[in-house]
Amino acid sequence: MITTFPKGGIHPPEDKFSAGSPIRELPLPKTVTIPICQHLGAPSEPLVKKGDKVKTGQIIAKSSGFVSANIHSSVTGTVARIDKAMDSSGYRRDAIFINTEEDVWQEGIDTGSNLVKTIHSGREEIIQKTLEAGIVGLGGATFPSHIKLSVPKGKKVDVLIINGIECEPCLTSDHRLMLEKGEEIMIGIRLIMTALGVSRAVIGIENNKKDAISHLGSLARDYQGIEVQALRVKYPQGAEKQLIKAIINREVPSGKLPVEVGAVVHNVGTAFAVYEAIQKNKPLIERVVTVTGKDLARPSNLLVRIGTPVSELIEAAGGLPENTGKIVNGGPMMGKALNSLDVPVTKGTSGILVIPDKESFRKPVVNCIRCAKCVSICPMGLQPYLLRAASEYKKWDIVENEHAMDCMECGSCSYICPSGIPLLDYIKLGKATVSKIIRTRKQ
């Protein structure tokens, strides 16, 4: 049976131009810029200094806290400098610059394409290796994965949900990964299941990826406990809480984590990265990035080393079209417009979207007409129009009481608003302020 989540949701045009193009490996860039904070949480501490020689896969920055992740060199070469580099918001943050030389991998990494099926690792070893490999949630939130692999004391998890939804329009990297690395993903899921101690895993895939559903479905016959669930297309189905509701019909309480209802969600990309880390000893140094756009010559799915500048990706996809108005890091719904093409690919970059001139501007803002479209489509059941007004007039108590902190910033409200009001911008401001207020209250 095809299911979906019940509350809200929208249907933006899918525009998956690159769905048919197989994953290509991008040639090594001349230099890479590896930011020391590519994950949610504390920035990592650099372990190298200027002039150091590094090998591909060598650790160059160490996790600096519980919520933090290791960072590895994605190329072989010399550390040129540790300096500020522009991130996708335009602000400059610390990064390690490496000049590329001939690719030499760190000892002990299996770089072959052979499939390693037998699992030797136990629970502790899988979690430890995931931590060492610097794996973070590759769906986009970049939350360190090792934390999600260890079940907190007193909690019980009975089902693992694998997110193969890719509900963002335009993006196809997870889709291609499922088609081309299906077997690896299955073994990765097995590894995650071992770490969590669960016997059931469900892969959720939206019904617009029928080939992926049938491919993984046929593979799943050989893996006991893993099943594939087709879901009706609706944005934002890839959001953790919506996905849990859609697949196992459990509702995560406000302000709580999925583990509360006995579920853990991981992305297919993360499952693949876990496979590589444990079976091949390979840290997270590359990822699949969709480079797409209406007027782009060759919309592609590229296997890219972390730290590669965005300009090289666009070059590989046929070069920047002349009518480009905006380049977005991520999907069209939640992505961020880039300030410069020198911004590097990070662990959280799922796509690069080139938007033509005409479509890159927002609608002019007019008054709210109280149509309540934002209320009916909000997948979290919030009232975006009210949150916006409360944020604009700095009524932070109302923002908090109306559960702004439950907002996952999917952008459906800004998308649907007929008055062109940037609802999400205001809600983000409200969330940031309220979380600051909550933090000071706790102290």
Residues of the shown chain interacting with another protein in the complex, contacts defined by CB under 8 A? 84, 89-92, 336-337, 339-340, 361-362, 365, 392, 422, 425-426, 428-429, 432
The nearer residue to another protein, 103 or 392, going by C-beta atoms, is 392
Residues 6+ apart with CB under 8 A from 436: none
Residue 360: CB minimum distance to another protein, A: 9
Measuring CA to CA, how many Å separate 356 from each of 170, 327, 340, 387, 414?
A: 14, 9, 16, 32, 20
Is residue 273 a contact partner of residue 188, using CB atoms and an 8 Å limit? yes
Write out the DSSP string of 252-274. Answer: PPTT--GGGGTEEEEEHHHHHHH
The nearer residue to another protein, 80 or 337, going by C-beta atoms, is 337
Residue 423: CB minimum distance to another protein, A: 9
The nearer residue to another protein, 125 or 409, going by C-beta atoms, is 409
Task: State residue 141 phi and psi, 5-degree precision.
Answer: -80, -20
Task: State residue 399 phi and psi, 5-degree precision.
Answer: -55, -45
Residue 338: CB minimum distance to another protein, A: 9
Tokens for 97?
A: 């610059």
The nearer residue to another protein, 299 or 335, going by C-beta atoms, is 335
The nearer residue to another protein, 256 or 394, going by C-beta atoms, is 394
Residue 143: CB minimum distance to another protein, A: 20
Residue 90: CB minimum distance to another protein, A: 3
The nearer residue to another protein, 97 or 272, going by C-beta atoms, is 97
Which residue in the block uniquely carries the two structure tokens 């489509």? 377
Q: Where are the beta strands (DSSP E) in 63-129?
A: 71-72, 77-86, 92-100
Q: Does the bond joining 418 to the residue before it have cis omega, within 30 degrees of 0? A: no
Residue 293: CB minimum distance to another protein, A: 18
The nearer residue to another protein, 365 or 366, going by C-beta atoms, is 365
Which residue in the block uniquely carries the two structure tokens 């209406």? 294
* CA proximity to 116, closest of 186, 169, 170: 186
Residue 362: CB minimum distance to another protein, A: 5
Cα distance between the two ends of the chain: 49
- How far is Cα 430 from Cα 145, in angstroms, rounded to an integer? 28
Q: Backbone dihedral region of 395: left (phi > 0), alpha (psi from -120 to 50 degrees) or beta?
A: beta
Residues 6+ apart with CB under 8 A from 104: 55, 56, 76
* CA proximity to 403, closest of 178, 253, 260: 253
Give the up-direction half-sphere exposure of residue 4: CA atoms within 13 A in the CB hemisphere: 16
Residue 125: CB minimum distance to another protein, A: 41
The nearer residue to another protein, 74 or 414, going by C-beta atoms, is 414
- 275-278: long-range contacts, CB 8 A cutoff, minimum separation 24: 275/184, 275/185, 275/187, 275/188, 275/191, 276/133, 276/184, 277/129, 277/130, 277/132, 277/133, 277/135, 278/119, 278/121, 278/125, 278/126, 278/129, 278/130, 278/191
Residue 86: CB minimum distance to another protein, A: 8
The nearer residue to another protein, 219 or 429, going by C-beta atoms, is 429
- How far is Cα 6 from Cα 341, in angstroms, rounded to an integer? 40
The nearer residue to another protein, 49 or 84, going by C-beta atoms, is 84
Residue 392: CB minimum distance to another protein, A: 8
The nearer residue to another protein, 211 or 357, going by C-beta atoms, is 357
Residue 140: CB minimum distance to another protein, A: 17
